[in-house]
Chain A
């Protein structure tokens, strides 16, 4: 017992101050929101688009565009670019409400707005989610799980992962939705009482991820259920997921600070 207490004293209080305090420090090599400087693109260069494993990068007359829903946030495009016209910033805020808003060409991302008034009233201070992995590789799942550790402690925002869909206000879906999970996902969705929401976490759940060309998957959660929040990444950093959840619940102001309750 005394050893447990001493360990407790030594391990200390580890819950992040964020979002009331500063955001967690991300490593210098963290790959968040891309930065695009089309002025640097050499004429006729296609290096970034050709390097992209998921065809997330396309070229328009105005310069490269990145579909953040397909993007794996791998280093390939930035490495391939001879002029540094495409790179990754440490901005972890990536979540949006509509799929098409993820096509990014350099202008500010329209970060997720809060749920509509009635849903926000119901879920804003208490959101129970059933997580469904539908072909996820256990990386998205792991970084969703991390939110329940004492570091991120989503319980302090009234967010909880629950075991039964009957106890849930919505689904948090990972994975490209394999054909073998389609039925189970539908049944789980049907078991959640109305009103309900869906959060798609990770490149697979948004657009199939690395498996986008596989005939054994459906290209993401939206093929089966209506999605209310898209959280890009492969996997998204826990800060990205929590930022998206808090925005959806109207708990963050535009500048990232906690909204008045």
Chain B
């Protein structure tokens, strides 16, 4: 295949920026469109803009630089390329590469440039442009945008009505706004408008690492602390040229799978609750806590705060503690599998799960779904398998897929992953390598790029760091799996009864703050 080449690297590694081809925009566009048409995935696509006072703004070409990371899941490689934009507009990739649609909306909002020809160019987070005086929608510079105040897709007709829900919506849940275009009970279209949780994570990380960096990373999505902290640690280790001790690698794997166990078990309980099957709902509510408490046994925090640190892990896992954890794991695994097993025995549950909220494999591929939501569509996409890093280079977890793309499939994938993850943790605890928990980390390479992918419980967590001449982050890009998957939820609702929204929503269980950053 001819055409412009991207630089190649592996998950968890770094490259000098000089080795990342600086392409004309058309070449970057062609490379991304070609690669995604061949089945590769766009894992990150973002703008880097100079700080207002930076001399970089006077560099040749425009001041906005676009950078794309494409994953080849077959080869286990990542391709990166960049382009400096001339002017304030560029031809949108989305018509040829639908996976780019949300990324381009993000780029427009952050950098104040216009992807011309984007079919649905709207803000995704409702904040002011990072480049003062440049706004993709020509909004006034001084006024803070108001979330949810925007045009929504509307279906017109006498028998069509609109249902608006949120930002504050049912239950103990993060805020988001949902607009349903309904014909009777049937949803023709759902548009999801987020941004309420926007805390400005990426700009807070720029200029780092500093002492506030780790707590920010750990709370990008607080239920995904381990995955995000691991991705961050791996970026730092790649830039510092540090190899993590084997024991720390194993403990990271244990922590990531415990995070998956707690959340999958919690989700399966919540799905049971949404169809009114209270035994599994009640049992899983408790068992989820048991897994969170196992993480607390490792590090004192139920969410793994303080555990993952660049260079290794913050807490030793002594043999006695590993033994106690293994015992609790046996009980947790047994209780979880029993509670989950009841779901498939109960006709009132399977009748509600099966055929509800279907996403087709074609749609899933086109929009770039990740995690259990993708695997439920028969797409065997899993960072642990496709781009193995850390412990996953040595211990292989089988990828779980289902084929029907509905709530039942998303539940079945989680259920099988509960078993696999528990077995993985047990295996690691039985044979922890004898090495230190942590090694020192020196300064980061200057003018470099590093990429780390981690398979969090919702799917692929992607961190990309660009360093400046002093080895500080001049851009830190975070992509939570929810960023890819919210549109999948919207598609799952097409033609569905509106009363199935809670069930469909729970079957994805996406992060609002992870999306909003």
Residues 114-128 of A contacting B (Cβ, < 8 Å):
none
Q: Is there a chain A Cβ closer than 8 Å to B306's Cβ? A: yes
Given the interface pairs A53-B212, A53-B214, the reply to whether A139 lies near B303 with Cβ below 8 Å is yes
Q: Is there a chain A Cβ closer than 8 Å to B285's Cβ? A: yes
Q: Is there a chain A Cβ closer than 8 Å to B200's Cβ? A: yes
- Residue contact B279 to A8, C-beta cutoff 8 Å: yes
CA distance A182 to B314 in the complex (A): 36
- Residue contact B170 to A163, C-beta cutoff 8 Å: yes
Residues 157-192 of A contacting B (Cβ, < 8 Å):
161, 163, 165, 175-176, 178-181, 183-184, 187-188
Q: Of B168, B173, B341, which one neighbours A184 at CB under 8 angstroms? A: B168
A-binding segment of B216-224, B235-243, B358-366, B488-496: B216-224
Give the residues in chain B near A31, CB-CB below 8 Å. Answer: 300-301, 306
Q: Of B196, B219, B300, which one neighbours A137 at CB under 8 angstroms? A: B219
Give the residues in chain A near B212, CB-CB below 8 Å. Answer: 53-54, 210, 213
Chain B residue nearest to A75 in the complex (CB): B306
Distance (whole angstroms) from the CB of B334 to the closest CB of chain A: 9
Distance (whole angstroms) from the CB of A12 to the closest CB of chain B: 10
- Residue contact A214 to B200, C-beta cutoff 8 Å: yes
Chain A residue nearest to B197 in the complex (CB): A135
Give the residues in chain B near A176, CB-CB below 8 Å. Answer: 199
- Residue contact A29 to B315, C-beta cutoff 8 Å: yes
Give the residues in chain B near A146, CB-CB below 8 Å. Answer: 285, 289
Counting residue pairs across A and B whose Cβ atoms lie within 8 Å, the total is: 191
Q: Is there a chain A Cβ closer than 8 Å to B471's Cβ? A: no
Give the residues in chain A near B167, CB-CB below 8 Å. Answer: 181, 184
Give the residues in chain A near B29, CB-CB below 8 Å. Answer: none
Give the residues in chain B near A237, CB-CB below 8 Å. Answer: 302
Give the residues in chain A near B5, CB-CB below 8 Å. Answer: none
Given the interface pairs A76-B211, A141-B172, A180-B147, the reply to whether A7 lies near B282 with Cβ below 8 Å is no
- Residue contact A151 to B219, C-beta cutoff 8 Å: no
Distance (whole angstroms) from the CB of B124 to the closest CB of chain A: 12
Give the residues in chain A near B282, CB-CB below 8 Å. Answer: 149-150
- Residue contact B200 to A133, C-beta cutoff 8 Å: no
Taken residue by residue from 323 to 348, chain B's Cβ proximity to chain A (1 for < 8 Å, 0 otherwise) reads as: 00000000000010011011001100
Give the residues in chain B near A133, CB-CB below 8 Å. Answer: 172-175, 197, 512
Q: Is there a chain B Cβ closer than 8 Å to A215's Cβ? A: yes
Distance (whole angstroms) from the CB of B131 to the closest CB of chain A: 16
CA distance A27 to B346 in the complex (A): 37
Q: Of B200, B303, B335, which one neighbours A235 at CB under 8 angstroms? A: B303
Q: Which of B199, B221, B289, B346 has the most CB of A within 10 A?
A: B199
Give the residues in chain A near B219, CB-CB below 8 Å. Answer: 137, 139, 204, 209-211, 234
Q: Is there a chain A Cβ closer than 8 Å to B164's Cβ? A: no
Distance (whole angstroms) from the CB of B489 to the closest CB of chain A: 16
Given the interface pairs A10-B338, A179-B144, A184-B175, the reply to whether A140 lies near B222 with Cβ below 8 Å is yes
CA distance A143 to B218 in the complex (A): 16
Residues 1-44 of A contacting B (Cβ, < 8 Å):
3-4, 7-8, 10-11, 14, 26-31
- Residue contact A216 to B199, C-beta cutoff 8 Å: yes
| Main secondary structure on A side of the interface with B | mixed
Total contacting residues, chain A, CB less than 8 A: 71
- Residue contact A30 to B174, C-beta cutoff 8 Å: no
Total contacting residues, chain B, CB less than 8 A: 65
Q: Is there a chain A Cβ closer than 8 Å to B119's Cβ? A: no
Distance (whole angstroms) from the CB of B343 to the closest CB of chain A: 11
Give the residues in chain A near B303, CB-CB below 8 Å. Answer: 139, 142, 235
Chain A residue nearest to B269 in the complex (CB): A149
- Residue contact B335 to A137, C-beta cutoff 8 Å: no
Taken residue by residue from 208 to 240, chain A's Cβ proximity to chain B (1 for < 8 Å, 0 otherwise) reads as: 011101111100000000000000001101000
Given the interface pairs A27-B300, A131-B172, the reply to whether A138 lies near B199 with Cβ below 8 Å is no
A-binding segment of B291-299, B369-377, B404-412: B291-299
- Residue contact B146 to A183, C-beta cutoff 8 Å: yes
Chain A residue nearest to B297 in the complex (CB): A27
Give the residues in chain A near B170, CB-CB below 8 Å. Answer: 163
Q: Of A14, A72, A149, which one neighbours B305 at CB under 8 angstroms? A: A72
Give the residues in chain A near B211, CB-CB below 8 Å. Answer: 50-53, 76
Give the residues in chain B near A165, CB-CB below 8 Å. Answer: 168
CA distance A237 to B197 in the complex (A): 22
- Residue contact B173 to A11, C-beta cutoff 8 Å: no
Chain A residue nearest to B304 in the complex (CB): A139
Taken residue by residue from 122 to 151, chain B's Cβ proximity to chain A (1 for < 8 Å, 0 otherwise) reads as: 000111000000000000000010110000
- Residue contact A211 to B306, C-beta cutoff 8 Å: no
- Residue contact B223 to A150, C-beta cutoff 8 Å: no
Give the residues in chain A near B335, CB-CB below 8 Å. Answer: 10-11
- Residue contact B286 to A180, C-beta cutoff 8 Å: no
Interface residues of chain B, those whose CB is within 8 Å of chain A, are: 125-127, 144, 146-147, 167-168, 170-175, 195-201, 203-204, 211-212, 214-216, 218-223, 225, 279, 282-283, 285-286, 289, 293, 296-303, 305-306, 314-315, 335, 338-339, 341-342, 345-346, 511-513, 516
Q: List 21 A-B contacts (CB under 8 A).
A: A4-B346, A11-B283, A29-B297, A29-B298, A54-B215, A73-B301, A76-B211, A131-B172, A137-B219, A138-B223, A148-B172, A149-B289, A150-B286, A151-B286, A163-B170, A175-B197, A178-B199, A181-B196, A184-B175, A204-B219, A217-B199
